[in-house]
Amino acid sequence: MSAIADKAGVQRSTLYRHFPDDNAIFGACTSHWIARHPWPQIEQWRQFEDPTQRLLHGLTELYDYYSDNRQMLYNSMRDVEVMPEFVGEISREQHAATVSVLIEAFDRDDEDLRAAVSLAVDFRTWSSLADAGTSPEDAASLMARMVAPLAG
């Protein structure tokens, strides 16, 4: 907290008045970052009634987001166990909502399809493909082609 106060040019007492603990300041920083880097508008993906088109469009937007925010997302994933609980909750809620929007376009929702879509949406899946030199668009296309046959 001392380093933050020094960087901000304020006394520690001023900082503690606004942010009484680490969770409060971390929450403010997280909220600020999320406001500047909003999650893709997954509700808009519903305009694609065809499940494969929705999946491809959604994964393309999601992978572009991952590409644009890779370092921060990597750091968050790496440190989630030592961060305040709300950080993990935000991540889990976003993941679940994203999977649900993509799954609902398919005629069925079974365990295999849900697992495959969950894997496709996972940051670590995209990161692995990106590390192999795959562009976000090509990665989205690959994952959509892998997932779609599971829908029958």
Contact 27, 84 (CB under 8 A): yes
| Residue 144 contacts residue 56 (beta carbons within 8 Å) | yes
Collapsing DSSP states into helix, strand and coil, what is residue 10?
A: coil
Residues contacting residue 54 through CB under 8 Å, at least 6 positions apart:
45, 46, 48, 101, 102, 105
pLDDT digits (tens, 9 = 90+) for 61-79: 999 999 999 887 787 777 6
Q: pTM (2 decimals)? A: 0.80
Q: Which two tokens stand for residue 4?
A: 């933050």
Q: What is the pLDDT of residues 104-118, one digit of tens each?
A: 999 888 999 999 999
Question: Buried b / exposed e across 73-99, counting CB within 10 Å, b at 16+?
Answer: beebeeeeeebeeebeeebeeeeeebb
